[in-house]
């Protein structure tokens, strides 16, 4: 009984430590949201683009954290776990696509958005750059963004709920609603500056995790051979 009571006490202490860490994490995001709100009070460009003054390091990690988010942390490892090393093609495609995006498309887009009437959004850019007098391109591109980014945002909220359920043993719907509330809060009040800083903060955590987890996994799985064994098992997850 003493041993069981001690184990239960340790489990409760561990749970409280986890809850405190989660609370601190979300509190940091809220504080960043308020900071962004205080900074982005000048005009629409300040709110939507951070005044076009965000540095390369924050931009890079923010873009990486936004692009990869839940599918990189949860979806891709699950794919690798179920299929083995054949899933490496996803990483290769992602790397090539990101390289082309950031070193070919992004620099030109950065310059031409200012030349095209200081466009703030992609629909505005298409309208101004291509002289879309009837707003056809603006409407179509706007609809594409709304539809597909709604689905993508939904998947991010679902990942948050799944993370709370699997990692912390909390209710899935509670985790989903909490994550959605925090993200909407700092995005709505802080604008792009708050989003970039929070993404940078979370991107650092993701980067550390993605470096450490494979090392720990290799140490516990006794080498690369286990990955081939997992692929042969044809596991369903």
pLDDT in tens, 165-209: 887 777 888 888 988 998 888 888 888 888 888 888 888 888 888
Token pair recorded at residue 111: 């310059």
Q: DSSP character for 54?
A: -
pLDDT in tens, 34-64: 888 787 666 777 788 777 778 888 888 887 7
> Are the beta carbons of 126 and 132 closer than 8 angstroms?
yes
85 vs 159, higher pLDDT:
159
- pLDDT recorded at residue 142: 92
- Give the separation between CA 162 and CA 70, rounded to whole angstroms: 10
Give the mean pLDDT of 65-71. 71
Comparing 3-12, 41-50, 92-101, 126-135, the range with the smallest average pLDDT is 3-12
Q: What angle do CA 152, 96, 53 make, to 5 degrees?
A: 65
Token pair recorded at residue 191: 């604008």
- Give the separation between CA 164 and CA 166, rounded to whole angstroms: 6
120 phi and psi, to 5 degrees? -95, -35
- pLDDT recorded at residue 226: 64
61 vs 237, higher pLDDT:
61
Residue with token string 């056809």: 136
């Amino acid at each position: 009984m003493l041993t069981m009571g001690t184990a239960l006490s340790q489990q409760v202490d561990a749970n409280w430590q986890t809850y405190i860490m989660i609370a601190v994490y979300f509190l940091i995001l809220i504080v960043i949201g308020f900071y962004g709100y205080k900074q982005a009070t000048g005009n629409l460009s300040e709110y939507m683009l951070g005044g076009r003054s965000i540095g390369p390091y924050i931009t890079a990690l923010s873009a990486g954290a936004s692009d990869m988010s839940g599918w990189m942390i949860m979806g891709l490892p699950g794919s690798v776990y179920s299929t083995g090393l054949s899933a490496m093609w996803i990483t290769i495609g992602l790397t090539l696509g990101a390289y082309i995006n950031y070193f070919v498309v992004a620099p030109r887009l950065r310059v031409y958005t200012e030349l095209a009437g200081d466009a703030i959004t992609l629909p505005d850019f298409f309208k101004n750059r291509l002289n879309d007098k009837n707003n056809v391109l603006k409407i179509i591109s706007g609809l594409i963004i709304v539809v597909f980014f709604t689905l993508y945002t939904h998947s991010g909220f679902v990942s948050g709920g799944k993370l709370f359920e699997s990692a912390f043993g909390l209710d899935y719907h509670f985790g989903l609603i909490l994550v959605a509330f925090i993200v909407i809060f700092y995005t709505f009040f802080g604008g792009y500056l708050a989003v970039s800083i929070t993404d940078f903060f979370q991107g650092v955590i993701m980067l550390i995790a993605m470096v450490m987890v494979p090392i720990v996994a290799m140490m516990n799985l006794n080498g690369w051979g286990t990955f081939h064994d997992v692929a042969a098992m044809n596991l369903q997850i």
